[in-house]
Structure 1
Amino acid sequence: MTTKKAVVLLSGGLDSSTVLFRAKALGYACYALSFNYGQRHQQELTSAIAIAAAAGVVQHHVIQFDLRLWGGSALTDQTIDLPCDRDLSTMSQEIPVTYVPARNTIFLSFALAYAEAIHAQSVHIGVNALDYSGYPDCRPDYIAAMAEVYRLGTKQGREGNPIEIICPLIDLHKTDIIRLGNEYGVPWEKTWSCYSDGGTHEPARACGRCDACRLRLAAFAALGLTDPLPYTPTHPA
C-alpha cells in the first residue's frame, strides 16, 4: 500500500506542532512547510526546524519572502505595538493588530503548489476559530472557499481528485489541543507561541504578556499543567 503524503503548514507553535504529530501518527508521510515572512517573532522558525526534526518529516522547506514591505500588522511592522496584558474574556470581540493581511491565503497557496508537485493527498493546517479573535482566514467558511480554490485551480482537482485541506483543530479549545498534543507526544518545550523574538536569553524566553502567551499559559494552567517553555521572570501570573 502506498503511504499517503501530507503537506503540513508548520509555524513551530503549539497548534501547528500538534497537527504535524497527529498527521504523523495517522500514518502520513509528512512534508513540512514553514515561512520566513519578516515576522518579528523569528524564534518560531527555530522551533519549526526543531519540531520538524523531532517528528521525522520527509522534507522541511522554509520559504522566504518579506511582508514587512507593506506591513499592516504588529507582526510585520515594528512601529505597531503588540497587544499585551489583555483580558482573555475580551480577546474574541475584535480582530487584533496581530492579524497579518491574507497570510493564510499566501501560505495555503504555497502549500497547494507543493502538494500537487509531490502528489500529496492533503494539506494540514492548524487554524482555530475558538479562544481568540476568529481571524478571518481561520474560519470554517474561509477554509471551505479555499477548498474550492484547491479543486478548481489544479490539474489534480479538475481530474476529480482534489487535494483536501484538513483542519483538525478548527473547533477545539486550546485546552483540547494541548490534550491532543499530549496524546501524540508533542515536545512542548521545543515549540514557540510568543509574538516577541525571545530576547537575548539562551534559551529564548517568551514574554508571557502577549495574547498568544496568555492563551497558552491559561490553557496549561486550566489543565493543571506547567508550560515547559521558559518565560521572562516578570510576566504576569
Structure 2
Amino acid sequence: MARTDLSPLTGADVVALENACTPQRVEAGTVLLNAGAPPTAVHIVREGRVHLAMRNPPVGRQTIGIVGAGGVVGDVPLLTQQDMPFDAYADVDSTLLTLGRDQFLTLLSDSASLSLRWTTSMAQRIQESQRRLVTLLTKDLASQIATVLMDHRVRQDGAWIVPMPHQTIAHLLGARRQSVSRVLGHLRRDGLVRSRYGSVEILDLPRIAELAGDDTDGGDLAASA
C-alpha cells in the first residue's frame, strides 16, 4: 500500500485496519468486482494476483492491469462514486483483505494518518498509470515489452520470473500476440530472456532494464541478478 517512508501508519492505524479487514481466500477465476456495477468493497491483495480486465466480446476479457501483493482494488471508483470501469478477478488462488464500503469510509474519516497513507497510495498508482501511458506513446515495442518485464518480475528459486503468457503481455500493451512473441524471440536469441510455460524468465536483468529505460542503478541490478 505505497511507500511507508512517505506516510507511515501509526500503531493505532495498523490495529484499526486489522480489526476492520476480513481475510478471505479466493480461487483462481473468482470475480471480485464487476464492470458497470458500483463497488461495494475495497480489496487489498495480501497474496496472489488480481487482473483488471475490459470486456471485449470478440476475444473475451482483455487484461489492462495486474494487481499484485500489497495492491488495492476498488477504492478509486468507490471514492469517486462511479461504477467499476472493468472487471477485477483473481488470476490465481489469492488471499485478500476486504473492507466493506462503510468500514472503509469510516476508517478514512477517523484517521488522518491513514487517510494520508491511502492518498499516497492512490497518487502513486496514478503516477504509475501516467508512466505506462508515456511508455506506450513514446517507446518501440521492444522497450515496451522490457518495461512490462521489469514492472512485473518476481523472484522465484533464484531467478527473475514474469508470470504471464505472451497473450497477457500483448493485452497490457494493446499489441498483437504474434508481434510480442516475435520480439521476445529476438530477446531470447540475444540471451536476455528464456521462455517458460505461461511465463518469461529474465536472464540478463541489467540489459532488460537498459532496454526499458529503467533509471535504477546498474550496480544494484547486477547485484540483484
Compare the two structures and name the one with the higher helix fraction. Answer: 2
Q: Does the TM-score normalized on the shorter chain lie above 0.5? A: no
Higher relative contact order (CA 8 A, sep 6+): 1
Rg (Cα) greater in structure: 2
TM-score scaled by length of structure 2: 0.30
